């Protein structure tokens, strides 16, 4: 069995913030991942390659062992559920908050059934169920902020960073669901079968991020790592 390691990294903001950190661990892709059409990128660290994919796909690749490790937002891990994954490292990058937001005073009280537009239907349902509230979720793939403005939903569940997007659309944050940052996830079988190279890589990434590496981390998803 090859002891080479494949790391799946979320495109976009996470990739941008992860690249300097990966470089400090000697992981410099041989081509610019934002420009290259190649999907598998060898790196300057021997035996380590990167695949750069959509954020929501990262846990899936790692769960099935198509990638040994991944860098994904906690938002995506909460939604995925964490099956087959360890979450040993919080890189502290791409920080934001997952929030319920809506127009001021426009969310109906029970027994009216709340309609919630979101990309995060599982997490949203879990959040409201914990309050004993049944909600109707409407799955969207982008521009969640529009939904309450045009009467598609009473409120949204989305990521909030500066709050600028909410404010520009007259929306207000209503409830905090989770503090979000990017985490390193590891395939549970790879953690056993490729223990030494995985451990060495985790130590290098923890060092690069200036954070402590835990023994193996909790399971990813709802209960894991915060
Ligand atoms: P802001 O206006 O700074 O509050 O940013 C909100 C917009 O950016 C929303 O459309 C979010 O979905 C998106 N966003 C905020 N933080 C992140 C993040 N860490 N990763 C991906 N998208 C984000």
Per residue in 28-67, pLDDT (tens digit) is 999 999 999 999 999 999 999 999 999 999 999 999 999 9
Taking the C-alpha atoms of residue 7 and residue 62, their distance in angstroms, rounded to an integer, is 8
Taking the C-alpha atoms of residue 182 and residue 73, their distance in angstroms, rounded to an integer, is 4
Average pLDDT, the chain: 94
> By C-alpha distance, which of 211, 163, 171, 203 is closest to 186?
203
- The contacts of residue 51 (CB under 8 Å, 6+ apart) are 6, 7, 8, 9, 39, 40, 41, 61, 67
Indicate left, alpha or beta for 102 from its phi (over 0: left) and psi (-120 to 50: alpha): beta
Q: Which residues line ligand 1 (CB under 6 A)?
A: 13, 73, 94, 96, 158-165
Does position 224 have pLDDT exceeding 70, yes or no? no
What the block records as the tokens of 81 is 């559920």
Does position 157 have pLDDT exceeding 70, yes or no? yes
Which residue has its alpha carbon closest to ligand 1 atom 5? 161
Q: Percent of the chain having pLDDT more than 70?
A: 96
CA of 145 relative to ligand 1 center, distance in Å? 11
Instruction: Select from 3.50.30.10, 3.40.190.10, 3.40.50.150, 3.50.40.10 the CATH code of 5-94+181-219.
Output: 3.40.190.10
Q: What is the mean pLDDT of residues 144-164?
A: 98
Element (H, E) at 155: strand 155-160
Please count the other Cβ atoms lying within 10 Å of the Cβ belonging to residue 134.
11
What the block records as the tokens of 95 is 């920080």
Do 70 and 11 meet the contact criterion of CB atoms below 8 Å apart?
no
Give the per-residue pLDDT at 77: 98
Exposed, middle or buried by CB within 10 Å (0-12, 13-18, 19+), for 148?
Answer: buried
Instruction: Select from 3.40.50.880, 3.40.190.10, 3.40.50.150, 1.10.3720.10 the CATH code of 97-179.
Output: 3.40.190.10
Give the per-residue pLDDT at 217: 65
Does position 206 have pLDDT exceeding 80, yes or no? yes
Domain with CATH 3.40.190.10 in the chain: 5-94+181-219, 97-179
Which residue has its alpha carbon closest to ligand 1 atom 16? 161
Q: What is the mean pLDDT of residues 101-111?
A: 90
Give the three-class secondary structure for 93.
coil
**Which of residues 224 and 169 earns the better pLDDT score?**
169
CA of 123 relative to ligand 1 center, distance in Å? 17
Do 59 and 185 meet the contact criterion of CB atoms below 8 Å apart?
yes
CA of 76 relative to ligand 1 center, distance in Å? 13
């Amino acid at each position: 069995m090859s002891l080479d390691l494949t790391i799946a990294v979320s495109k976009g903001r996470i990739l941008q913030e992860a690249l300097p950190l990966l470089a400090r661990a000697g992981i410099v892709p041989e081509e610019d991942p934002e420009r290259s059409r190649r999907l598998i990128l060898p790196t300057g660290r021997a035996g380590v390659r990167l695949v750069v994919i959509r954020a929501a796909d990262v846990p899936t690749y790692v769960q099935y062992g198509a990638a040994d490790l991944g860098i994904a937002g906690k938002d995506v891990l909460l939604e995925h559920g964490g099956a087959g994954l360890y979450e040993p490292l919080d890189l502290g990058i791409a920080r934001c908050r997952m929030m319920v937001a809506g127009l001021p005073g426009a969310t109906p009280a029970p027994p009216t059934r709340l309609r919630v537009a979101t990309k995060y239907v599982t997490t949203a349902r879990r959040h409201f169920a914990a309050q004993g509230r049944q909600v109707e979720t409407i799955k969207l793939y982008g521009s969640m902020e529009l939904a309450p403005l045009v009467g598609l939903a009473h409120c949204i569940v989305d990521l909030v960073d500066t709050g600028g997007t909410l404010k520009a659309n007259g929306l207000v944050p209503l409830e905090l669901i989770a503090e979000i940052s990017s985490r390193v996830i590891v395939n549970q079988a790879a953690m056993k079968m490729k223990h030494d190279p995985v451990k060495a890589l985790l130590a290098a990434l923890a060092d690069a991020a200036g954070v402590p590496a835990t023994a193996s981390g909790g399971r990813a998803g709802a209960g894991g790592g915060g």
